[in-house]
């Protein structure tokens, strides 16, 4: 029986996974239930495999934004189908990962990857998927790339800022390329056909 894939707008079932914690050099555990108790956002950053080529560039790029994402109330967990032991070895050997401090999640059975629809049955690997889960456990953002296209952490930060803003301003909506301080939209009868005017300074 196939597991249900979680779609944007749905609640994410609680899950746990073992981690390698680069900040301490120890093994640990990530629990969505714990993140919700701590009122934290969760960012899951799936990638195909340790000791590959595009992956360390992505994780290094994400590492540059980790502190900014934490200040927005988010915990970041990178995830692949490798074990926590392979994560430790890769982090130790790959110089691009020197600044990675966020937990590295292990999903060797592919259970979590299947839950988010990024598991590739032909390879046993996860596609490049980025998912943002709200403090209440709702999936609010989903991005999936194929193996050969790396992501940009700047856009992840922008989406996280927008989602954090909308959490406290649910009556508003963020237009394309929105950044904090820029105009938002308030859907109404008056706004229909007049978005241009609403965005003018």
Write out the H or E segment, with its range, that includes residue 76.
Answer: strand 74-80
Q: Is 171 helix (H, G, I), strand (E, B) or coil?
A: coil
* Residues 62 and 78: beta-carbon distance below 8 Å: yes
Place of tokens 């020197």: 98
Read out DSSP for 79-134?
EESS-HHHHHHHHHH-GGGTT--S-EEE-TT-HHHHHTT-EETTTTEE-EEEEEE-
Longest dimension (CA), the chain: 58
CA–CA gap between residue 100 and residue 125 (Å, rounded): 21
Distance in angstroms (rounded) separating the CA atoms of residues 40 and 74: 5
Token output for 178: 């929105």
Catalytic residue status for 55: yes
For residues 31 and 86, what is the distance between their CA atoms, to the nearest angstrom? 20
- Under 8 Å between Cβ of 65 and 157: yes
The active-site residue out of 55, 88, 126, 164 is 55
By annotation, the residues acting in catalysis are 55
């Amino acid at each position: 029986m196939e597991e249900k894939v979680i779609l944007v707008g749905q609640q994410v079932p609680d899950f746990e996974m073992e981690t390698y914690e680069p900040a301490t050099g120890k093994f640990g555990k990530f629990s969505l239930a714990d993140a919700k108790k701590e009122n934290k956002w969760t960012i899951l950053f799936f990638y195909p495999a340790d000791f590959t080529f595009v992956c360390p560039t992505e994780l290094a790029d994400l590492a540059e934004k980790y502190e900014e994402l934490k200040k927005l109330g988010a915990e970041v967990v990178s995830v692949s189908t490798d074990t926590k032991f392979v994560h430790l070895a890769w982090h130790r050997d790959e110089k691009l990962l020197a600044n990675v401090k966020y937990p590295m999640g292990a999903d060797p059975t592919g259970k979590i990857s299947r839950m988010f629809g990024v598991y590739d049955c032909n390879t046993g690997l996860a596609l490049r998927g980025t998912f943002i889960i709200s403090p209440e456990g709702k999936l609010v953002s989903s991005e999936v790339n194929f193996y050969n296209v790396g992501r940009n952490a700047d856009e992840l930060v922008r989406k996280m800022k927008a989602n954090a803003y909308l959490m406290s301003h649910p009556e508003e909506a963020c237009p394309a390329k929105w950044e904090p301080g820029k105009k938002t939209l308030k859907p109404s009868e008056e706004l229909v056909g007049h978005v241009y005017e609403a965005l003018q300074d």
